Structures are given as structure tokens and as C-alpha cells.
Amino acid sequence: MAGCTSAYAAGTTPVPLGKARPFAIASQTGVTDVRSSAVTGNVGVSPITGAADHLACTEVTGRVYSVDAAGPAPCSIKAPAFLRSVISDTQGAYANAAARTPSVTELGAGNIGGLTLAPGVYHWSSAVIIPTNVTLAGKANGIWILQIAQTLNLSSGTAVQLSGGARAKNVFWQVAGKVTLGTTSHFEGTILGKTLIAVKTGASVTGRLFAQTAVTLEQNAITKPTN
């Protein structure tokens, strides 16, 4: 399918992130890391112990929060009540995104490689694969919400690209299955993941990784979008 989809839905608003907005990574069961990664933005794990956050303080430009004193030393901030609110807000964001009414369904039968997507709400009941670059094209106030009922796989060396003024802070991927970002790939937008978010060697993300299970990193650059 060539060209730009006609997905614009009037009145589409960003997914509210609440207290999770300043975070680059929020995980309920931990963060693993093959060093060195570079994370710009806050990081938090909850309800699991801070010992499950394997990022070193030197890898994070931002605050690191844990539920107990076992978080990365010496930077970890013990804040169990705050983290409960952060995780609750990521779960609320997932539910909010999932409840939006789609303007386009089953685009490309789940293969969106090579396509250009206009702002809108997209839904797939299948897995989604991105084997070649995909472009999100729209103005700075354009909103993309992508609802994926199964897995999301961005192939190695492939990119999610923005054009026309589109901004990563306005892109939300709600994914019920595992998310895999292949080696040296580049991704744009906030991932609201029900399960694992696996970021492979050398991949980069301008966005947020919010996982209801774990986040795995391998020498990655994760940069929270500017507000």
C-alpha cells in the first residue's frame, strides 16, 4: 500500500500519562542491561525490589526510583508510594489507549513496512511487523495511537520515522504482546506494553518504555521525548 493513509480522527487527544510522564522506563518486574546503555529520563521499577533494576547510575540522566534501598547505588531514590502511583498511571494509559475508537483497522494485514501513516487511531487484531521503514507523517499536533492485540516486531536496521513536524511525544503504541526492537533499529513513541519490551543490541528509542513485565536493554540509547 503506497501513499499516506487517511486516518485522521477529529478530536483525538494524547494518551494521559500522569505521573509517568517524566519517565523513560517504567517496569513492574525489572530492567536488565547489557552495558553500556544511555537512558535520558527517569527510571523506576515497582512492585519488584530495586535489585531488579540492573542499570548503573552512570547510565541514567535523570532520577532512578526504587521501592526499597536495594536500587542502583548511589543514585536510587526510595519512593514506594510514588512508584505505585507511577505504575498505576502507566496501567491507566494502557487502558486509555486500548479504549480509543479506531479510525483504521487491520492496515496492511499487520505488515506496515514501507507505509506512511497519517495521524489517527489504528487497530490490529494480529501481530504487527515492520520489516522496512515506516513513516508517521503529520503536523506537530498530530496524534497517533496504535492498538496491537498481539506482538510488535521492528526488524533489525529498520526505523520508525517522523515527518512533517510529527513529534514522538504524540505517538502511543499499545501492545498486548511482546515488543521486540531489532538490532540497530530506531523507534519513535511511547510503548505501553502488557508484557516484555526487548530492545536489542544498538537499537535506539526516542520515546518511553512502559512494561507491565520487564524491559531488557543491550547497549541502547533511550531518550524521553521533550514535552
For residue range 90-106, what is the model confidence (pLDDT) as tens digits?
Answer: 999 999 999 999 999 99
Map grid coordinates 530495586 to a residue. Answer: 50
Please check the confidence at residue 133 and state whether its pLDDT lies above 50.
yes
Contact 202, 184 (CB under 8 A): yes
Confidence at 12, pLDDT banded by 50, 70, 90: confident
**Residue 185 has what pLDDT?**
98
pLDDT tens, 28-79?
999 999 999 999 999 999 999 999 999 999 999 999 999 999 999 999 999 9
Grid coordinates given for 86: 507511577
| Mean pLDDT, all residues of the chain | 95
Confidence at 1, pLDDT banded by 50, 70, 90: very low
Gap between the Cα atoms of 18 and 87, Å rounded: 10
Gap between the Cα atoms of 25 and 87, Å rounded: 11
Top-confidence residue, 187 or 227: 187
Confidence at 226, pLDDT banded by 50, 70, 90: confident
Please check the confidence at residue 150 and state whether its pLDDT lies above 60.
yes
Grid coordinates given for 169: 511525544
> Nearest-CA neighbor of 144 among 128, 126, 162?
162
Q: Looking only at Cα atoms, what is the longest distance across the chain?
A: 53
Average pLDDT of the residues in 169-186 = 98
Confidence at 227, pLDDT banded by 50, 70, 90: low
**Residue 3 has what pLDDT?**
46
Q: What is the percent of the chain with per-residue pLDDT over 90, rounded to a whole number?
A: 94
> Nearest-CA neighbor of 192 among 165, 167, 215?
215
Map grid coordinates 526488524 to a residue. Answer: 155
Gap between the Cα atoms of 112 and 129, Å rounded: 7
Pairing of strands 128-130, 116-117: unpaired
**Residue 2 has what pLDDT?**
39
Domain ranges for the chain, please list them: 18-223
**Residue 7 has what pLDDT?**
52
What's the predicted TM-score (pTM) here? 0.95
Confidence at 26, pLDDT banded by 50, 70, 90: very high
Map grid coordinates 510514588 to a residue. Answer: 82
